[in-house]
Amino acid sequence: MLRKILGLNAVFSTINGIAMLFAPTFLAAIFFDLDFALFGMSGAEILQILAMGLFLFAAYVGFVAFKLPQLMGQVKIIILADWSWVISTILLLVFASSTFSTFGLVFFAIVAFIVAGFALAQRKFSNSVTD
C-alpha cells in the first residue's frame, strides 16, 4: 500500500508541475492578486520555478516507491517534505493571504489538505511494506 500512496504522491506532484510549467500565466492570473511579484519575478515565473521543484520531488518520490523496501528510510524524508509543504502553505495563507485571489486561497488550501493526507497515509503504512 505504501508504494501506491507514494506513487499517487508522485503523480499528483507531476500533474501540478505540468500545469504550472505549461500554463503559468493563466494560473498566476487566477491564483494571485494581479500586482503580485516576488524578488522581481512575476507570479507566472514563480509558478514555473515551483514546477521544477515539483518535478524533482515527484522523481524522488517515484524512485523511492520503485525501490521499496530498500529505500524505506527515505520515506521519512518524503513525509517531512510533505509536512513542510503543508506548514508553508498554512503560513502563506495566514500571513500573505492578500497575495492570493479567493480561488488561489481555496486551491492551495485543498492542495495542502491532499498533501497532508499523503503524509498521514505514508506514515501509517511505512511500518509494513509488503506490497
Return the pLDDT at 38. 82
pTM of the model: 0.91
CA angle 88/38/24 to nearest 5° reads 85
In one-letter notation, the amino acid at residue 4 is K
Q: Which pLDDT tens digit goes with each residue over 13-65? A: 999 999 999 999 999 999 998 777 788 899 999 999 999 999 999 999 999 99
Q: Helix 43-66 and helix 24-31: axis angle, to 10°?
A: 110
Domain boundaries, the chain: 2-125
